[in-house]
Amino acid sequence: MKTKKKFSVTKQNLWVDLLIAGGFLLASQPHLTGMAIHEWLSLGVGVGFLTHILLHWRWVYETTRRLFSKLAGQARVNYVLNLALLVAFTLIIFSGIMISEEVLPLLGLQGVHGGIWKSLHTIASEAVVWLVGLHIALHWRWIVTNSKKYLFGWLPKRRQTAVQPSEAAV
Ligand code: HEM
Ligand code: HEM
């Protein structure tokens, strides 16, 4: 009889995290992908970010509630950084839509060329690389532990090289 595999929230988060990380890397290289892919992919990454935030909604709610009372320093740092990420990505996606060369014309609208929106898009997308880097660094242990468990669990475990007590006695 087939046994049902248990659903893992952590595994689900790991896959969403990997998808948005890959999407973000590609979105940061519009000269490699071309403009059409850049715009559609980035909008998709935007949906990925929304999913990511919704999956951590409980954390957002609880941390906001305790922000001005008892809260661990690390959670406070994460909160400020996550807020900065939210502002930066909202700016990037909004300014991206304003200067759009592919998506907006499909809707019969004309994006603006150059000017403040273009500068904002460039500056925010440069700044966000550092924010994402920091965000990943602060969750590095989680990423390594769960990647080992859920992505590379099929690899054979490293052989124990330590001498067993029974062998040492011989
Ligand atoms: C390339 C982009 C991003 C990557 C690779 C990424 C990755 C991660 C990872 C690995 C975690 C911890 C593991 C987990 O529970 O999923 C996490 C947690 C979290 N991320 Fe992101 N994230 C990204 C963008 C964002 C953005 C734009 C926001 C917007 C606010 C955000 C908000 C959060 C929140 C609220 C948490 C849970 C609380 C915490 O531990 O900080 N993330 N993210
Ligand atoms: C994850 C989100 C995004 C990131 C990281 C990102 C990043 C970038 C980067 C690094 C550039 C090159 C800037 C330069 O050469 O000065 C660029 C250009 C551009 N992006 Fe985005 N972008 C994102 C979202 C979007 C969205 C959603 C749209 C439109 C729907 C968009 C439209 C454009 C356009 C039209 C340009 C060309 C600007 C020009 O050279 O005149 N971007 N983006």
Q: Which ligand is nearest to the CA of 93?
A: 2
The residues, any chain, with a CB within 8 Å of residue 38's CB and separated by 6 or more, are 27, 30
Distance CA 143, CA 117 (A): 35
Residue that wins the pLDDT comparison between 71 and 17 = 17
Taking the centre of ligand 2 as the mean of its atom positions, its distance from the CA of residue 81, in whole angstroms, is: 22
Give residue limits of the domains in the chain. 9-169
The whole-angstrom separation of Cα 14 and Cα 21 is: 10
Which range (17-21, 59-63, 122-126, 163-167) has the least confidence? Answer: 163-167
Ligand nearest to the CA of 101: 2
pLDDT at 161: 55
